[in-house]
Structure 1
Amino acid sequence: MYGHGAAPPTRTSGTVITLRVLFAAAGLLSCGLLSCLPLFRVAVLRGKRADWLLAWLGLPASIICFAVVGSVPESNHVGDVAMALVLIMGAASGAYFLVFDIRHHRTLPPTGPMPSGATAYMRPGPPHAGYGYPAAQPYATTQPTHSTPPPGTPPHPYTPAPPPPQPQHPSPARIDQVRAELDELSDYLRKHEDNR
């Protein structure tokens, strides 16, 4: 989707927290019916067989519990046990997701703006292709193109890239010329309309 070598856009902390709250609340707010949703998210992020098995078993378990609640009379305690079980599944899957997601995002390398004076070689993690910058080549070498100075020579100071060229505005003489031509055209049109 992003092409070869281009990294997907990074999520902000607000997006991560919003997704975390929505996935964790899905099991509780649906009374346990969607308790498998946070489990599927964990399975997608981790990719382990045990997580996939837990997620796929959570879906029919919540459906079976709701079927039991709907099929037994209200005076039967089996319905109460089934409802308690499905609510516990919703809360447990949300808690399991929160624990995993918080640990997962703590292990990711930090992203964000680089400190001033830093270069791309100092940034941890994969290179990111932003607007106006070329995407990383998958088979390119990661060696810097400059050579190290011989011992005893002072290091070169950091020189920032030149600022981008400013957009060119039309010169005042050109504006005056265009204004004069428009005035002539409006005079011509007025004369032409008066002759009718």
Structure 2
Amino acid sequence: MQGHGYGQPVKQPPHTAWLVLLRVLFVALGILTIGFLAWAMLLRLAAVTRRSLDWGLFVAVLAADILGIVLLAAEPGDDIHTAGGYTGILLLLGALVATTGYYLAADIRHFLVRQQAYRAQQQAYQAQRQAPAYGYPAVATPYTAATVPTMPATPTAPVHPVPVHPAAPHNPPVVPHPPVPRPPLATPPPQRPAPARIDQVRAELDELSDYLRRHDGQEGGR
């Protein structure tokens, strides 16, 4: 298995000394030409930032410089004494001042943001390289091995295997039937002695009485 891929490092911006030298060179070119080449600063800025706003400003400054040069060229004589000549001078000087301020601010901001992004991505790239690859354990350094204490392993009780009983055959559950209530047994009425039994006892008593009378009579005759 392979680890995570590493992103390509961002292109490092130019050195600060080189950027300062370019800024001084383009600003000096605009000032020494009294604004005739002020558009060169915006041309470099638009080529670096590649923004539509900077390209639009470059076209506007270039048009202003061309118009100023045309008005100055139409001035009769060597001295400036007409409204057209003064307008041409104002266009050149105004474009020079505005272009210089905007060029320096935009160029410094652009490369400052680019430098910060480069540092952040470099830090992320280094952290990604130091992270352990997927599927491989991290290698402990002597520093981490000496400073991180290791906890002793606690003894664990042996695990006994649980016996597995074979499953009983599947029988349908027996549903108990509710008991059927039985009617209570009728208690028989008390039985009266049969009349024949009473008559038999009475007869026996009569016979015994007759026997006693006869026995008494015989004793008296003697």
| TM range, smaller chain | 0.5 to 0.7
Distance 1:44 1:157 in 2: 51
Per-residue deviation at 1:66? 1.0
1:155 to 136, 140, 147: 140
**RMSD of aligned Cα (Å):** 3.3
Letter aligned with residue 100 of structure 1: A
Q: Work out whether residues 42 and 97 of structure 1, in 8 Å CA contact, stay in contact via their aligned partners in 2.
A: yes
1:102 shift after superposition = 1.3
Find the aligned partners of 1:68 and 1:22 in 2 and give their Cα distance. 27
Structure 2 unaligned segments of length 5 or more: list them.
1-7, 144-222
Which residue in the other structure is 2:35 paired with? 32
Match of 2:103 among 90, 97, 114: 97
So what's the TM-score if we normalise by structure 2? 0.48
- 2:121 matched to which residue of 1? 125
**Distance in 2 (alpha carbons) for counterparts of 1:19 and 1:58:** 20
Over 3 Å counting, the alpha-carbon distance change for 1:26 and 1:157 in structure 2 is farther
CA distance in 2, matches of 1:50, 1:88: 19
TM-score (norm 1): 0.53
Q: Structure 2 counterpart of 1:76, which letter?
A: T
1:25-174 mapped onto 2 (5 Å cutoff): 25-73=28-76, 74-109=80-115, 124-125=120-121, 146=133, 147-149=136-138, 155-157=140-142
Measured in 2, the distance between the counterparts of 1:29 and 1:19 equals 15
Please list every run of at least 4 consecutive aligned residues from structure 1 whose deviation after the TM superposition is greater than 4 angstroms. Answer: 5-10, 141-146
C-alpha displacement at 1:30, in angstroms? Answer: 1.3
Secondary structure, counterpart of 1:125 in structure 2: helix
Residues 53, 25 of structure 1: alpha-carbon distance in 2 compared, 3 angstrom cutoff: same
Alpha-carbon distance, 1:46 to partner: 2.3
The structure-2 alpha-carbon separation of the partners of 1:148 and 1:84, relative to structure 1 and needing over 3 Å to count, comes to farther
Identity of aligned residues (%): 27
| Cα distance between partner residues in 1 of 2:35 and 2:12 | 33
